[in-house]
A and B are shown apart, each in its own frame.
Chain A
Amino acid sequence: NAGVTQTPKFQVLKTGQSMTLQCAQDMNHEYMSWYRQDPGMGLRLIHYSVGAGITDQGEVPNGYNVSRSTTEDFPLRLLSAAPSQTSVYFCASSPNELETQYFGPGTRLLVL
C-alpha cells in the first residue's frame, strides 16, 4: 500500500492564481481531511469528508474548495491564491474520527 500520497511536493504561485492540491489514499478509508500547518499554530482543519459525496468545513475554510467524488481522492482547490495561504498542507485519512489519522507527506506552498 502507498498509504496517503500528495502532489505536488512544492509549489510557487503568484497572488490570484488558482491551483489544485491532489490527495489520494489506497486504504479504503471513509474519512479524509485537509490541514494547514503554520509555525506555532499547529494543524488547523480546512475541510473534511466522511465519505464520497459528503464534505464539510473545518476551522479555516475560506479561500478553499473541496470535493469527494471517489473514496480514494480528495483534492483541495485554491480559488485565488493569497500570500496568507503560504503554508504546508497535509492531507490525512482514517477509518473514522476515533481512529489513527494517516498523513500524507505534505505540500509546501509559497504564494508571492
Chain B
Amino acid sequence: GENVEQHPSTLSVQEGDSAVIKCTYSDSASNYFPWYKQELGKRPQLIIDIRSNVGEKKDQRIAVTLNKTAKHFSLHITETQPEDSAVYFCAASRTGRRALTFGSGTRLQVQP
C-alpha cells in the first residue's frame, strides 16, 4: 500500500517569512496530492491539491510543487500570517485506490 511521510513535524516561523513542508510517497502510481489545513478544534479543510500531470500549482500565497521522479511534493506558504498557524496534512491517492493516505501532519506556528 501507499506510505506518506511528512516533515517537519513542527515548524515555527516569523510573520512574513516563508514556510515549506515536504512529503514523500512510496507508490509511483499515485496521481493526486491534496493538502489539508486543520485549525485547533476544527475539521480538516482542503487548501490546495495537485495532480501528476502538472509540476506546480499556485493559489495566492500558497503553492504546491510535485517531483514525480523523486516521489515528493511540497507545500510553500509565502508572507506567512498568524492565521496560517494550524496543522497541515499532505495526502496521496491514485485512480482505483479508493481512499487517501495521509501524512502525520506538520504543526505550523507563525510568530507575530
A contact set with B: CB distance below 8 Å: 31, 33, 35, 40-45, 48, 50, 56, 58, 90, 97-98, 100-101, 103-106
Fill in one digit per residue for B38-52: 1 if any A CB lies within 8 Å of its CB, else 0: 000011111001010
Is A100 a contact partner of B100 (Cβ separation < 8 A)?
A: no
A101 to B93, CA, bound (A): 12
Query: A33, A48, A90, A100: which contacts B43 (Cβ < 8 A)?
Result: A90
Contacting residues, chain B, for A90 (C-beta < 8 A) = 43-44
Is A98 a contact partner of B95 (Cβ separation < 8 A)?
A: yes
Is B9 a contact partner of A45 (Cβ separation < 8 A)?
A: no
Min Cβ gap A111→B in Å is 20
Contacting residues, chain B, for A104 (C-beta < 8 A) = 43
A90 to B102, CA, bound (A): 13
Q: How large is the interface on B (under 10, 10 to 19, 20 to 34, 35 or more residues)?
A: 20 to 34
B contact set with A: CB distance below 8 Å: 6, 9, 31-32, 34, 36, 42-46, 49, 51, 89, 93, 95-105
Min Cβ gap A38→B in Å is 10
Known contacts A31-B98, A98-B95; A41/B45 CB under 8 A: no
Known contacts A90-B43, A90-B44; A41/B99 CB under 8 A: no
Is A43 a contact partner of B98 (Cβ separation < 8 A)?
A: no
